[in-house]
Structure 1
């Protein structure tokens, strides 16, 4: 039995994913729940498991390809089918060919084989590759699936192709036999005369080949490839097809086609989509060639990186940012951490300065709840949070991620260190879940880890504040009238000035500093 596997919905709001890598090849045996592919969404990289025991029959998407959720990406032959697969296919072919001939003789082009085949439907014109949902839709709409030009890989017929064919047929019926050009629009040159539609060009400027020049071939019967311009003066196409061309920025007169109606070139939706894809590929190749000649590298802006960028832009352009800077003497903190580090190591926990800062921030947030809030713009309310979920900004290969340590106020120093270390490691390995990066009420970022001192961090929207920690450096300070070397750390607190006033920001920062200057005070915090 053949099993089609669609890209699953791996998280709320995720509409597509990029096939990062295939972990199997066609013909490989697989077990149920065995990872077969790595897929990157706009949230994270996830493993896609096999739903069955069996073997890989066909892979439908290439590594690096963006695939919408619900698209078939791989086909499995379930266990028990591998040995008899070839013989079964041969017998099915004979049976379905016979059924096709019988149906063709009675005028019924679509055969009952469509109901038994999992992916391909034999018709009088050969095998049609289509998803079961597309075949079912074709039956419901009364469309001959064998007459549809598939726009998917290998000519695969999609639901979009079926609907477009049904719409074309409906428009032909509505126009009736009295109309000389039912369901299509005749376009006479670029002037649009005799067009019958407001948009005579189908939208967009005339498309050229990858060389920048249109093809000399204007024949409706071929001659131009999908990447070349047919450059006709007259084109027949359904209004829906013209709209598709306009939306794709394609000149419909430039779309090559082998189909004719009434002696004129006829363009289908599949031809428009194929031509648009070819033009895009040519443009991408041109950009890549230019970039290479200039010593540039083009990296796709998508997935996690694009999501990070969108969130940063939303925060920066939504919340008016103000950043408060200060310095704090953390000599006592350095000593306390040194004393406790050995005890933490004995329990297999790496103790950094971050858990101390988290504890200090929670204590200050209790005193200044406005910093631990959010603005509900729709309800026109400021929501003060009575829980303390601290996000820790983490640099990864994919960009900045923010794992969230929940209920930081209820955990001791070693518990905070252990949970934070685990989440940070998962973020860097790209195995962290979306839920583990949600629900934060306040965020801390450590620019000192790379030697930085001051920063103007962007708030992790919809939070209203973020604290950046600078590097701890030895600096001269006056103590009891004498200049002595002390360990000094810088703090940079960015606030959403719609919610948090500058005075509150300064008071909050001062309270954090008091706890860091005297870390023994953190022992009094629950």
Structure 2
């Protein structure tokens, strides 16, 4: 049996989100056949099969995050004992089951100890405390369905089966909805393997206070498996341990944290049973935001009315959201706005565009802007930096690697043009056009979106003049370009129409002062108004 673990998908990639499965349990696959599409940050990657065989189990659902090195899919290779036994199990077992008056569905679904069920069904079984191997599958080929698991759970409940015995919802007086949900688990002697525990109080530390959630945590696959079984958010577990400068959590910390959560749940259950609705008010007065649904509580669900629709918040959209939230949370933004007359830029492009077409290059304004930005960064290096908060150092980049923010059908991505100084205008234009086209077709490599030192975003291509762009951390600045068009400008005491370009420079105020931003923009304006100045560099 071959356990295919999520491979290393690129430098620095720690995990990926399953976007699509292209196979199902029971499917025959060949080497190099695409098994799934996995998203890492902003790049979607096809994951091919390394072997020939038959799919036995998918270990992750669509939308689930899988760490590098965790088992993604199990494949039975040709010659595996389980594969050969499975091929004749149903025929050999059916007569015996008929003679014994048993069900062939059970044999089909659990032959050789294997159960045919999707990851979501397996998760439901774990959450409800149902032994999925003992469930009769009613689906095709004896596959266990969610209805089968729910029926088994109901039957176990009616028979007094051990497991969850109550679920209590505590509702606040203002009608905002449930503020706590408590699952009470039987206190029998059986060892708790975490499958019957479904925690609804998240991010609570040992002292009952709300824990700050990290963006990334290092842990072994085995530890992450335990966290999933105990329904613990591994990024919220307090830890003083580090590995390679990153927070590290071990299995003991996970179990200790889970016990703290369960204790908090027990306290909530007692408050509900003894204090009723007053518990919410008491918690609010005491500043307990976890119980009272305050600032640290779990997000409330949004109701959907008729005519509205929902779509999953995942993939590129979630990656963008997390990056933007991190930037706004960590970085004190300040934005400097200005406008520049770009008659010289317009004339330069008009002169060079026919020559570029002869060489098969579509010459837009973007390579001009990128080239001018690099020249300005050379004179104002503080804007070509990154803040290393761990070592408390400002990193000055020597290379000018400019990110070009690109709007696509699947979200905003930022291809990076390396070493702008060392490339001519036509080479730069061709490279930008290629990167943007492949970004929009999702054919871009993750490495081509890394290593940026400064970002340019052209929102004016869609419309608008000024904005407050969000910095692409760990960079310390981003330049927003508004719509290039004729606007009234005072020249020699007269108002005339001139092509102008609005500029919006957002800076990390921890590193860059407002005066630095203004000086950079003044230098950039000089290059944009007359690009021939670049010949002097």
Per the normalisation by structure 1, the TM-score is 0.63
Shift of 1:63: 6.8
Paired residues for 1:223-302 under 5 Å = 235-238=187-190, 240-241=192-193, 245=197, 247=199, 290-291=303-304, 293-302=305-314
Q: Quick one: distance in 1 between partners of 2:156 and 2:29? A: 51
Aligned twin of 2:113 = 128
Structure 1 residues 336 and 12, CA gap change in structure 2 (3 angstroms): closer
1:453 corresponds, among 455, 465, 468, to 465
Shift of 1:304: 2.8
Q: Quick one: distance in 2 between partners of 1:232 and 1:463? A: 48
Larger Rg: 1
Aligned twin of 1:45 = 44
CA contact (8 A) 1:443 1:465 kept: yes
Shift of 1:233: 9.8
Matched position secondary structure for 2:430: helix
Q: Quick one: distance in 2 between partners of 1:316 and 1:9? A: 30
Aligned twin of 1:486 = 498
Structure 1 residues 507 and 56, CA gap change in structure 2 (3 angstroms): same
Which stretch shows the higher mean deviation, 396-405 or 66-75?
66-75
Shift of 1:337: 0.9
Aligned twin of 1:380 = 392
Structure 1 residues 382 and 155, CA gap change in structure 2 (3 angstroms): closer
CA contact (8 A) 1:56 1:74 kept: no
1:66 corresponds, among 49, 64, 71, to 64
Which stretch shows the higher mean deviation, 499-508 or 480-489?
480-489
Residue 5 (structure 1) aligned with residue 17 (structure 2): no
Q: Name stretches of at least 5 consecutive residues in structure 1 with no aligned partner.
A: 96-121, 131-149, 159-209, 251-268, 277-285
Q: CA offsets per residue over residues 212-267 of structure 1, 9 Å max, x none? A: xx9995532489999999x99964155645797274559xxxxxxxxxxxxxxxxx
CA RMSD after TM alignment: 4.7
Matched position secondary structure for 2:352: helix
Q: Name stretches of at least 5 consecutive residues in structure 2 with no aligned partner.
A: 94-106, 126-149, 170-182, 203-224, 233-299
Shift of 1:486: 1.0
Q: Quick one: distance in 2 between partners of 1:67 and 1:47? A: 15
Q: Quick one: distance in 2 between partners of 1:481 and 1:389? A: 41
Aligned twin of 1:422 = 434
Shift of 1:444: 0.6
Structure 1 residues 384 and 478, CA gap change in structure 2 (3 angstroms): same
Paired residues for 1:22-37 under 5 Å = 22-24=21-23, 30-37=29-36
Aligned twin of 1:322 = 334
Q: CA offsets per residue over residues 261-299 of structure 1, 9 Å max, x none? A: xxxxxxxx99x96999xxxxxxxxx969x52x3433333
Q: CA offsets per residue over residues 343-363 of structure 1, 9 Å max, x none? A: 222222221111111111111
Shift of 1:64: 2.6
Shift of 1:386: 1.6
Structure 1 residues 515 and 65, CA gap change in structure 2 (3 angstroms): closer
Shift of 1:416: 1.2
The aligned length equals: 393
Q: Quick one: distance in 1 between partners of 2:532 and 2:42? A: 39
Aligned twin of 2:160 = 220
CA contact (8 A) 2:165 2:185 kept: no
Matched position secondary structure for 2:113: strand
Q: CA offsets per residue over residues 376-411 of structure 1, 9 Å max, x none? A: 233332222221111111112332221111111111
Q: CA offsets per residue over residues 111-169 of structure 1, 9 Å max, x none? A: xxxxxxxxxxx9xx962239xxxxxxxxxxxxxxxxxxx9967769x9xxxxxxxxxxx
CA contact (8 A) 2:460 2:483 kept: yes
Aligned twin of 2:520 = 508
CA contact (8 A) 1:215 1:224 kept: no
Structure 1 residues 22 and 469, CA gap change in structure 2 (3 angstroms): same
Matched position secondary structure for 2:197: helix
Q: Quick one: distance in 1 between partners of 2:76 and 2:444? A: 32
Matched position secondary structure for 2:503: strand
Q: Quick one: distance in 2 between partners of 1:4 and 1:226? A: 38
